[in-house]
Amino acid sequence: MIIPYRASYWSIVSVWIFYVLAALAVAVFVFGVISHVSVWSRGARRQGMGFSGQGVFNLFLDGLLGRRIFRGDVAAGTMHFLILWGFLGLFVGTVLISADYWVYPFLKGAVYIGYSLCLELFGLMLTIGLVWALIRRYLQRVTRLERRIQDLMVPVWLLVVVLSGFLVEGVRLSSQRPEWGAWSFIGHGISLFWSDPRAVLSVYPYIWWSHAILSLGLVAAIPFCKLFHVLAAPVNIYLEGQPDLPIPAETATADEETFSTRQMIFFDACTRCGRCVEVCPSTGAGESFSPREFIAAVREDLLLRHDPLKSLDWFARWSDSRKTEKPDLDPQMVWHCTSCRACLEVCPVYVATPKVIERARSRVVEDGTQVPPLLSQTLEKLYKYNNPWEASKKNRAKWSQDLEIPDLTKTGEEDALCYFVGCTTALDTRAQDLARSFAWILTHAGVPFGTLGKNEPCCGDIARRVGEDGLFEEQMESCLALFERNNIRRVVTSSPHCFHTFRNEYPTCQALRPPDEKVHFDVRHYTQVIGELVSEGSIRFEKRLNIKVTYHDPCYLGRHNRIYDAPRKVIRSIPGIELVEMSHNRANSLCCGGGGGRMWQQDLDSKIKMSEIRVREAADTGAEIVITACPLCLIMLEDARKTASLEDTLRVMDLNELVVMALGLQSESEE
Amino acid sequence: MDVIVCVKQVPEVIDADLKINREATGIEKEDLVMHINDWDNYAVEEAVCIKEAQGGTVTAITIGDDESEDVLRRALAMGADKAIRIDPGERELDSFVISKILAKVIKDLEYDLVLTGVQADDDNSGMVGIMLAEELGLSHAAVVTGVQPEGDAATIRMELEGGLDEIAKIKLPSLLTVQTGINDPRYVSIMGIRKARNKELAVVELEDLGIHEDHLTPMTWIEEVFIPPETTGAEMIEGDAASVAAQLIKIMKEKGVNI
Amino acid sequence: MGEICVVIEHRKGEIRDITFEMLFKARELCRAFSHRLTALVLAGKDSGLANGLAKWADRVVVFEDDRLETFNADLYKDILNRVIQEDRPFMTLMGHTSWGMDLAPALSVKTGLPLATDCVDIQAKDGRPMVVRQIYSGKLFSRVSFKESPGYLITVRPGAFLPPDAEAGSEGEVVNQDMPADLAEPRTTFVEFVDTGAGEIDITQADLLVSIGRGVGEEENIATIRELADRMGATLSCSRPVVDKNWLPKFHQVGTSGKSVRPKVYLALGISGAFQHVAGITGAGTVIAVNKDRKAPIFRVADYGVADDLFKVADALKEKLAGA
């Protein structure tokens, strides 16, 4: 009995041509990859690139298993898994057979049979996956998937490669007819079509060479079409574990690219799957913005500027040139994003569009001529008066004038709890209720605290979000100096934006300071403080409130900082309350539209306001009150309630106000 | 096209509560934020736009103490190439003296065009610009809302009254006082200002300019600053919005309006 | 006897109102000081302007030439300089207008005489004039005095001195002067006038105007005021800052560089009352002002005032009108 094996290059002559072509294909491939990497290397180096266990872990889960692709779309996850593993399997198979040929013939006997079977299975997986992909895109017409020429050609090409592979096998088997042929069940099945082995023999080389050329062509094409994501995405996924180095505003020179190296990789890692488009509140509001389009536009712009070939994505260029004219990178595009992070939440490859937008904004702001006038004025107010609302500092502490709250800049108390009120809460008439309520709650619970009074600066969040990094740094310096001067070590904020900036951005920016100059302080959001007070019993709810409420997760408390449960716990601990969830909640909560500087330039070509969409969702739950935990959300939803004519059906309250109501601290009823 | 822009730092008063100082000759400036005079900001933007369109340089000049360098840095960040600050020391200044000082410095510079704002937000005099023009012997025009340099002349648009504008041709070199609304001044970021630190900012002491004492003596001065007495003024309607609205509607109907 | 000169301002063949205001005030001063009142006319050939002026002044000095038909800084400055050097008037008055702003400061340097601009009152003290003018965007007033000089130049704020309708007058003599032979070639040439105030809506014809100013805050807030105007059957108008920001076209602008309006009722929302705006509503029947700042200058000129947030009042008005 012959030991199962396979003769490589059976019936093929001039094999050296194959090697030449292979070398060519690999050379083109390598050239393409190098071009991409050279574009990446133009990024401002702000990323540590060392070893990261978290990175490897993510690589396995997200890169190989495609964990995030399954989220929200099991069909997509399965389909992609089949394609990825099918392809990987076949690729490894090719490597093994080369090793078998060049190094040591180990593929024989049972090993060979096992090998054949596996490859057959992988090929089947790949085929099923590709067909499924085509069905999803062209028959089911899944909305978020695009139908450009490239999107058709790539899976079809792959499919032709894998089917031609089976064909090659089938034809070979029909001629060789080995005993173990049935193990390669698909090839075997195909081989049954021909009975006369000699007729097939003359055709076989053609089929073999076609398959070879198509496969090599595919390899060469990878860096030049959307397939490049198979290399870029894993790199990005690995780097997700790495911290971002701080960006001192000073160092960026005019020549340096705005984006860091990591961010440059985003543009190539993007698979154009469109999940971001599905969840983006700006797109949902009918605005002319989508994260995918933005990433594509910036990518195009970067390639045009940095790539020696002027655009690596020749495929895109060729196929898209048949479409209508590609829009230029319009600086006005950057202003739509609310930095809600919904896109990053669902992106299978961790493309952090909000960060990219922030960097793009910093360039636009520096140039100065494309800054919307209202935003310009807001930033001027921030610079001169430490707040984006009023052209004056005098009203900062007005909300507390009847409350006798100690001013920590004057009392010199050490280690007091500092309630950082925040610009919006201090100055907006509606949001001031939040501050007063929180002050009553702390007093009721016997927690000593103080504020910074009239001297409270802005945390700098809005400056950072709209790209005014220099102004952000100045506000940060102000804050830190004030904290240090007055020995402030414990801070609680009204706004999740302040909380996020203090907790996440300040430490990164302080990383550049020498150790003895760092100002350390511990920051919490008020929901955490109230949560603690409830669990330790300092706040006890005795009164029953028989109302149905729903809770709106603020983007900066929820998605950015993962605080979903603390506020819910507080709500649920009020007797009689029924908490219902909106259809978008927790990590996929819908943005109110106030973040990312949008509060100060709201209506950009939207068909319906984001806040209105959200407030209607709240009303649909049947709740009487929608509770929120952010002053910007409070204002946005309150306004939306009026414009959506829901004033009689729905109330908007901050969590503090609900707690005050439950504790009966204020006898006057609201409104 | 080389352009000189004269700028002034003034207190921001639009939303502020002004307090008259003890001598009643001015206001308390302590709590006020200083910024570039609004008209001058438009002038700087116009100068930079001309430079961006036609090439050349922009020089910003101010008379003031070292705090006033902020407005020069701002002008540099917007696109001016260099700046000059003239330190007046303790001198009392009026429009006459200011124009003499500026003329002394500017006459040694090379330029095709001088731009100033129509007036400054503090004294609202509107004199320095045109006085400076006459000192320098330049052709001049005031309240300009459009400038189109063409060779050795410029076509300008001036705002008259009642919605009427005038188009004229003026020979260069010229001095134009610029009206608000002529353009959209660009935003100046902190980063932009920091990066502009590399640009030249020269400081000149007034005493070193060798200006004759007669020219440094003000020709007018403020004797007294006062809040206008409450004359008849408006009859104030108090109350909550709803009752105010009701009363207003009543008044309007009484005055013969059909609503 | 000394002399007070008033430079006559005209446009497109008509004498502008500021001229009569100045002549009225100058007459008052002339009576106080026993000075002679001279009106100076620089105009195009056969302008006929001098005739209307004879009863307002003691003397009307006329320079008529085609070159003077429209205002020209160089020519006017040159001629006036010569007149001032020769006649040595005590005071020369010009309007604080586009003309005046271009002419007076240059004339001051040329003649070496002191100048105060945009004055709202003129008195004399110890043989020298003392003027009152506004500073800090109209929030404060100042009294300004001059250094002792052979003459004084003053530009007058339009609308500061309102003459009675009929002037019982003098019978001034008209003196026609020849143009100086050696006038330098002017460096500015007039090209044309452009009317920017033309537009789809003529706010000067409205009976009820709802006018917005800086207080409206943001462009998108204008929509809610427009609704109010529609509900009231009113026409929308605005002050200068709104036009500067391109929120409304120029034909909505009320004020010196916009339109003068005379509605039965003028509702000013979020308008501070800067003089240039107020000058456009002197003809209004009743002015109702709404402004958060109780100290806003508009309340000095309005008939009725509400010191409250304009949006609250606007919303309340809309509600009342919807209910009524």
DSSP A395-462: TTTGGGTTT---BHHHH--SSPEEEE--HHHHHSTTTHHHHHHHHHHHHHTT--EEB-GGG----SHH
Residue C11 contacts B, CB cutoff 8 Å: yes
Q: Output the pLDDT for position A252.
A: 55
Q: In what order do the strands lie in the sheet with A651-654?
A: A578-580, A548-551, A625-628, A651-654
- Collect all residues with Cβ–Cβ distance below 8 Å to C182 and sequence separation of at least 6: none
Contacts of A366 in chain B (CB under 8 A): 189, 191-192
Q: Is residue C147 part of a domain?
A: yes
Following DSSP, what letter does each residue of chain B receive, concatenated? Answer: --EEEE--EEE--TTSPP-B-TTSSSB--TTPPEEE-HHHHHHHHHHHHHHHHH---EEEEEES-GGGHHHHHHHHHHT-SEEEEEE-TT----HHHHHHHHHHHHTTS--SEEEEES--TTT----HHHHHHHHHT-EEEEEEEEEEEETTEEEEEEE-STTEEEEEEEESSEEEEEPTTSS-PPP--HHHHHHGGGSEEEEEEGGGG---GGGGS-SEEEEEEEPPP--S--EE--S-HHHHHHHHHHHHHHTT---
Residue A248 contacts B, CB cutoff 8 Å: no
Query: Quick check: helix, strand or coil at residue C174?
Result: strand
Same-domain check for residues A97 and A114:
yes
Contacts of B129 in chain C (CB under 8 A): 105
Q: Is residue A372 part of a domain?
A: no
**Between chain B and chain C, how many beta carbons pairs sit less than 8 Å apart?**
276
Region of residue C159 (phi > 0: left; psi between -120 and 50: alpha; otherwise: beta): left
- Whether omega for the bond prior to residue B173 falls within 30 degrees of 0, making it cis, is yes
Place A310 in a pLDDT band, splitting at 50, 70 and 90. Answer: low
Q: Output the pLDDT for position A327.
A: 46
Cβ–Cβ gap B131/C98 under 8 Å = no
Same-domain check for residues A542 and A635:
yes
Contacts of C218 in chain A (CB under 8 A): 374
C210 close to C269: Cβ distance less than 8 angstroms: yes
Total domain count, chain A:
4
Cβ–Cβ gap B194/A470 under 8 Å = yes
Q: What is the pLDDT of residues B118-160, one digit of tens each?
A: 999 999 999 999 999 999 999 999 999 999 999 899 999 999 9
Same-domain check for residues A209 and A310:
no
Same-domain check for residues C170 and C231:
no
**Number of Cβ atoms within 10 Å of the Cβ of C312:** 17
In terms of Cα–Cα distance, which of A495, B73, C262, C67 is closest to C254?
C262
**Rounded Cα distance, C246 and C225, in Å:** 17
Same-domain check for residues C143 and C241:
no
Break chain B into its structural domains and give their ranges.
Answer: 3-216
Average pLDDT over residues C271-287: 86
Q: Output the pLDDT for position C245.
A: 81
Cβ–Cβ gap C219/A374 under 8 Å = yes
**Rounded Cα distance, C91 and C4, in Å:** 5
**Number of Cβ atoms within 10 Å of the Cβ of C1:** 9
Q: Output the pLDDT for position A307.
A: 65
A291 close to A266: Cβ distance less than 8 angstroms: no
Q: Is residue C191 part of a domain?
A: no
Q: What is the pLDDT of residues B45-84, one digit of tens each?
A: 999 999 999 999 999 999 999 999 999 999 999 999 999 9
Chains that contact A by 3+ CB pairs under 8 Å? B, C
Average pLDDT over residues A63-72: 90
**Rounded Cα distance, A71 and A487, in Å:** 46
Query: Quick check: helix, strand or coil at residue A258?
Result: coil
Closest residue of C to A643, CA-based? Answer: C224
CATH topology classification for B3-216: Rossmann fold (3.40.50)
The two tokens of residue A340 are: 């809600």
The overall average pLDDT reported for chain A is 86
Cβ–Cβ gap B164/C300 under 8 Å = no
Place A320 in a pLDDT band, splitting at 50, 70 and 90. Answer: low
Q: CA of A369 to nearest chain B CA: how many angstroms apart?
A: 5
In terms of Cα–Cα distance, which of A413, A440, A275, A420 is closest to A344?
A275
- Could you list the residue range(s) of the whole structural domain that residue A296 is in? 236-367
Q: Is residue C188 part of a domain?
A: no
Cβ–Cβ gap C220/A373 under 8 Å = no
Q: Is residue C86 part of a domain?
A: yes
Q: Which of residues 258-297 of C touch B (CB under 8 A)?
A: 258-260, 264-265, 267, 272, 285-289, 294-295
Same-domain check for residues A333 and A352:
yes
Q: What is the pLDDT of residues B6-35, one digit of tens each?
A: 999 999 887 777 889 888 888 988 888 999
Same-domain check for residues C139 and C94:
yes
Residue C218 contacts A, CB cutoff 8 Å: yes
Domain boundary among C159, C177, C195: C177
Cβ–Cβ gap C220/A603 under 8 Å = yes
How many CA atoms are closer than 13 Å to the CA of A256, on its beta-carbon side?
16
Candidate from C117, C232, C316 with C-beta closest to B127 = C117
Same-domain check for residues A110 and A139:
yes
- With 0.95 as the threshold, say if the pTM is over it: no
Q: Output the pLDDT for position A325.
A: 43
Q: Output the pLDDT for position A181.
A: 75
- Of A173-177, A340-344, A645-649, the least confident: A173-177
Same-domain check for residues A152 and A31:
yes
Q: Is C200 buried (19+), middle (13-18) or exposed (0-12) by CB count in 10 A? A: exposed
Region of residue C57 (phi > 0: left; psi between -120 and 50: alpha; otherwise: beta): beta
pLDDT for residue A570 is more than 90: yes
Q: Is residue A116 part of a domain?
A: yes
Same-domain check for residues A468 and A576:
no
Query: Looking at per-residue confidence, does C219 or A78 come out higher?
Result: A78
Residue C245 contacts A, CB cutoff 8 Å: yes
Strands B153-159 and B164-171, by their bridges, are antiparallel
Contacts of A477 in chain B (CB under 8 A): none
Same-domain check for residues A209 and A302:
no
Same-domain check for residues C168 and C213:
no
Q: Output the pLDDT for position A42.
A: 81
Q: CA of B40 to nearest chain C CA: how many angstroms apart?
A: 15
- Tell me which amino acid residue A381 is: K
Alpha carbon distances (Å) from A620 to A158, A558, A614, A625, A649: 46, 21, 10, 11, 10
Same-domain check for residues C94 and C133:
yes
Q: Output the pLDDT for position B232.
A: 61
Which residues lie across from A578 on neighbouring strands? A548
Average pLDDT over residues B94-107: 95
**Rounded Cα distance, A213 and A601, in Å:** 55
pLDDT for residue A607 is more than 90: no
Same-domain check for residues A475 and A431:
yes
- Collect all residues with Cβ–Cβ distance below 8 Å to A624 and sequence separation of at least 6: A547, A548, A549, A649, A650, A651
- Of A549-563, B165-179, C190-204, the least confident: C190-204
**Rounded Cα distance, C319 and C86, in Å:** 68
Contacts of A250 in chain B (CB under 8 A): 194
Q: What is the pLDDT of residues C67-95, one digit of tens each?
A: 999 999 999 999 999 999 999 999 999 99
Same-domain check for residues C40 and C123:
yes
Domain boundary among A190, A205, A233: A233
B183 close to B45: Cβ distance less than 8 angstroms: yes
Q: Is residue C134 part of a domain?
A: yes
Q: What is the pLDDT of residues C221-251, one digit of tens each?
A: 899 999 999 988 899 999 988 988 888 998 8
Place A319 in a pLDDT band, splitting at 50, 70 and 90. Answer: very low
A372 close to A601: Cβ distance less than 8 angstroms: yes
Domain boundary among C139, C159, C177: C177
Strands C208-212 and C188-195, by their bridges, are unpaired
Q: Output the pLDDT for position A329.
A: 66
Strands C91-95 and C3-7, by their bridges, are parallel
How many CA atoms are closer than 13 Å to the CA of C278, on its beta-carbon side?
20
- The CATH number linked to A96 is 1.20.950.20
Q: Output the pLDDT for position A176.
A: 75
Q: CA of C83 to nearest chain B CA: how many angstroms apart?
A: 18
Same-domain check for residues C160 and C254:
no
Same-domain check for residues A247 and A330:
yes
Q: What is the pLDDT of residues A257-283, one digit of tens each?
A: 778 888 888 889 999 999 999 999 999
Residue C35 contacts B, CB cutoff 8 Å: no
Same-domain check for residues C16 and C156:
yes
The two tokens of residue A494 are: 């009204």
Q: Output the pLDDT for position A603.
A: 62
**Rounded Cα distance, A513 and A307, in Å:** 36
- Could you list the residue range(s) of the whole structural domain that residue C22 is in? 3-177
- The CATH number linked to C16 is 3.40.50.620
A244 close to A46: Cβ distance less than 8 angstroms: yes
Same-domain check for residues C121 and C231:
no
Same-domain check for residues C237 and C310:
yes
pLDDT for residue A198 is more than 80: no
How many CA atoms are closer than 13 Å to the CA of A250, on its beta-carbon side?
6
Average pLDDT over residues A628-650: 90
Total domain count, chain C:
2
Q: What is the pLDDT of residues A158-189, one digit of tens each?
A: 999 999 988 888 888 877 777 777 777 887 88
**Number of Cβ atoms within 10 Å of the Cβ of C310:** 25
Q: Provide the terminal-to-terminal Cα distance of chain C, rounded to the nearest Å.
A: 68
Same-domain check for residues A46 and A185:
yes
Place C205 in a pLDDT band, splitting at 50, 70 and 90. Answer: confident
Residue A379 contacts B, CB cutoff 8 Å: yes
In terms of Cα–Cα distance, which of C256, C250, C267 is closest to C306?
C267
Q: What is the pLDDT of residues A361-401, one digit of tens each?
A: 988 898 888 888 888 889 999 999 999 988 788 889 989 98
- Of B176-180, C122-126, C264-268, the least confident: C122-126
Q: Is residue A488 part of a domain?
A: yes
Q: Output the pLDDT for position C96.
A: 94
A82 close to A125: Cβ distance less than 8 angstroms: yes
**Between chain A and chain B, how many beta carbons pairs sit less than 8 Å apart?**
59
Chains that contact C by 3+ CB pairs under 8 Å? A, B
Closest residue of B to C253, CA-based? Answer: B163
The two tokens of residue B173 are: 């070199």
Q: What is the pLDDT of residues A418-450, one digit of tens each?
A: 999 999 999 988 999 999 999 999 999 999 999
Residue C148 contacts A, CB cutoff 8 Å: no
Which residues lie across from C258 on neighbouring strands? none
> Is ipTM over 0.85?
yes
Residue C123 contacts B, CB cutoff 8 Å: no
Cβ–Cβ gap A366/B184 under 8 Å = no
Query: Quick check: helix, strand or coil at residue A611?
Result: helix
Residue A286 contacts B, CB cutoff 8 Å: no
Same-domain check for residues C262 and C125:
no
> Which residue do the tokens 């440094």 mark?
B216
Same-domain check for residues C157 and C275:
no
Q: CA of A460 to nearest chain B CA: how many angstroms apart?
A: 13
Q: Is residue C197 part of a domain?
A: no
* Contact residues, chain A to chain C, C-beta under 8 Å: 373-374, 602-603
Q: What is the pLDDT of residues C293-311, one digit of tens each?
A: 888 888 888 999 999 989 9
Domain boundary among A531, A563, A579: A531
What one-character DSSP code corresponds to residue A51? Answer: -
Q: Output the pLDDT for position C297.
A: 84
Q: Is residue C194 part of a domain?
A: no
**Rounded Cα distance, C7 and C42, in Å:** 8
Which residues lie across from B87 on neighbouring strands? B205
Same-domain check for residues A521 and A623:
no
Cβ–Cβ gap B35/A371 under 8 Å = no
In terms of Cα–Cα distance, which of A391, A393, A385, C139 is closest to B27?
C139
Contacts of A474 in chain B (CB under 8 A): 190
Place A648 in a pLDDT band, splitting at 50, 70 and 90. Answer: confident
The two tokens of residue A480 are: 């830190």
Q: What is the pLDDT of residues C132-179, one digit of tens each?
A: 999 988 888 999 999 999 999 999 998 888 777 656 567 788 888 888
**Rounded Cα distance, B147 and B154, in Å:** 7
Region of residue A481 (phi > 0: left; psi between -120 and 50: alpha; otherwise: beta): alpha
Contacts of C245 in chain A (CB under 8 A): 373
Cβ–Cβ gap A373/C245 under 8 Å = yes
Q: In what order do the strands lie in the sheet with C59-64?
A: B220-226, C140-146, C128-135, C115-125, C152-156, C91-95, C3-7, C36-43, C59-64, C173-177
- Tell me which amino acid residue B245 is: A
B237 close to B227: Cβ distance less than 8 angstroms: no
Q: What is the pLDDT of residues B103-114, one digit of tens each?
A: 999 999 999 999
C317 close to B248: Cβ distance less than 8 angstroms: yes
Q: What is the pLDDT of residues A83-128, one digit of tens each?
A: 999 999 999 998 888 888 888 888 778 888 888 889 889 999 999 9
Residue C219 contacts A, CB cutoff 8 Å: yes
Place A256 in a pLDDT band, splitting at 50, 70 and 90. Answer: low
- How many residues are recorded in chain B? 259
